[in-house]
């Protein structure tokens, strides 16, 4: 099976591709799509094919998809970008990639999404059957565009679409953990964040890609959401006293169940909590 991976130079993609290359069987191959050929060199050294082009360039996309059996779309426009760019990349480019993949004879399409698409909490861990309910302090163009992409891709007739919803991803020098204080500094002390180490994100996505019976949506996350207090401690920062004066209006916001991916695909976190990763020197 030849798999095309997009978004390979981002925080998730650059850590995922080497792990995917280690996991593939002898008859399998991996192709990465990069805009800058030089940035594809590290992947080429590990055995990946390199296709150069922009995700939004139809001609380049057609060449990148030639002979491909499966696609993993990690490409995303995250926080801090204009809303138009978020929609252009997260929905429009993703859906066009899905259509182009279908036209090229691709059998399997893994869309990397986010647990923020759930929106508000439901008073319990969120499951894959829960609909998107807009709301919550993190709602905006990023989760809204990701939710729209999920719906439109799933509606493509003839394409085996599989969706992996990621939590707050961290580890291996990713600055994401330090950046969490941008929000956690204004939270209540007990407000929680669902997390997942890069190693477990890669494990989950690889299982979703290769499992013959996989289908639909899968939550990927560790077992132990952390509090705002934990995030300050992990970053070695003093805990603002104001955290203890605040209350959490939605204690189940972003907290997901991983029962489905465990039951169907055998997923078990290598790092069940961020503290496990810290002890292992994997932050």
In the predicted structure, residue 94 carries a pLDDT above the cut 90: yes
Query: Residue 163's pLDDT is what?
Result: 98
SS3 state of residue 127: coil
* pLDDT for 186 beyond 90: yes
Mean pLDDT of 158-179: 96
| pLDDT band, residue 96 (cuts 50/70/90) | very high
Could you state, in order of their start, the residue ranges of all structural domains in the chain?
A: 2-173+196-223+257-271
With cut-offs at 50, 70 and 90, classify the pLDDT of residue 81: confident
Of 137, 135, 140, nearest in space to 87 by CA: 140
If one compares 69 and 78, the residue with the highest pLDDT of the two is: 69
Vertex 70: Cα angle to 198 and 15 (nearest 5): 20
Tell me the average pLDDT across 171-180: 95
Tens of pLDDT, residue by residue over 221-249, are: 999 999 999 999 999 999 999 999 999 98
**Average of per-residue pLDDT across 201-229:** 96
Is residue 79 predicted with pLDDT exceeding 80? no
- pLDDT band with cut points at 50, 70 and 90 for residue 78: confident
Can you state the percent helix, strand and coil of the chain, rounding each to 5?
A: 40, 20, 40
Cα 110 to chain centroid, rounded:
11
Closest CA relative to residue 120, chosen from 216, 249, 261: 249
List, for residues 106-119, the tens digit of each pLDDT value.
999 999 999 999 99
Using the predicted structure, report yes or no on whether residue 25 has a pLDDT greater than 90.
no
Q: How high is the pLDDT of residue 80?
A: 79
Q: What is the mean pLDDT of the chain?
A: 95
**pLDDT band at 40; cut points 50, 70, 90:** very high
Q: What number is the average pLDDT over the span 17-28?
A: 92
Q: Name the one residue in this structure whose structure tokens are 């465990």.
A: 262
Contact of 116 with 183, CB cutoff 8 Å: no
Domain 2-173+196-223+257-271 maps to which CATH number in 3.40.50.880, 3.40.50.720, 3.20.20.150, 3.40.50.10680?
A: 3.40.50.720
């Amino acid at each position: 099976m030849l798999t095309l991976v997009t978004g390979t130079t981002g925080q998730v993609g650059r850590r995922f591709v080497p792990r995917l290359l280690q996991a593939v069987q002898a008859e399998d191959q991996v192709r990465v799509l990069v805009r800058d050929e030089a940035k594809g060199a590290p992947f080429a050294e590990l055995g990946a094919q390199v296709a150069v082009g922009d995700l939004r360039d139809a001609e380049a996309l057609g060449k990148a998809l030639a002979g491909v059996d499966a696609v993993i779309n990690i490409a995303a426009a995250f926080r801090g970008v204009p809303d138009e760019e978020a929609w252009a990349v997260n929905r429009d480019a993703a859906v066009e990639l899905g259509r182009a993949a279908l036209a090229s004879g691709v059998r399997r399409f893994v869309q990397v999404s986010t647990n923020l698409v759930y929106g508000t909490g439901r008073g319990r861990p969120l499951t894959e059957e829960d609909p998107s309910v807009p709301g919550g302090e993190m709602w905006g163009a990023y989760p809204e565009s990701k939710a729209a992409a999920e719906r439109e891709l799933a509606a493509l007739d003839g394409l085996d679409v599989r969706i992996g919803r990621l939590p707050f991803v961290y580890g291996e020098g990713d600055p994401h953990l330090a950046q969490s204080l941008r929000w956690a500094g204004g939270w209540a002390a007990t407000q929680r964040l669902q997390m997942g180490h890069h190693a477990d994100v890669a494990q989950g996505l690889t299982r979703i890609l290769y499992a013959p019976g996989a289908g639909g949506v899968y939550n990927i996350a560790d077992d132990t959401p952390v509090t705002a207090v934990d995030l300050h401690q992990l970053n070695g920062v003093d805990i603002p006293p104001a955290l203890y004066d605040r209350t959490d209006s939605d204690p189940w916001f972003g907290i997901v169940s991983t029962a489905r991916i465990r039951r169907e695909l055998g997923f078990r976190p290598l790092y069940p909590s961020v503290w496990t990763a810290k002890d292992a020197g994997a932050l």
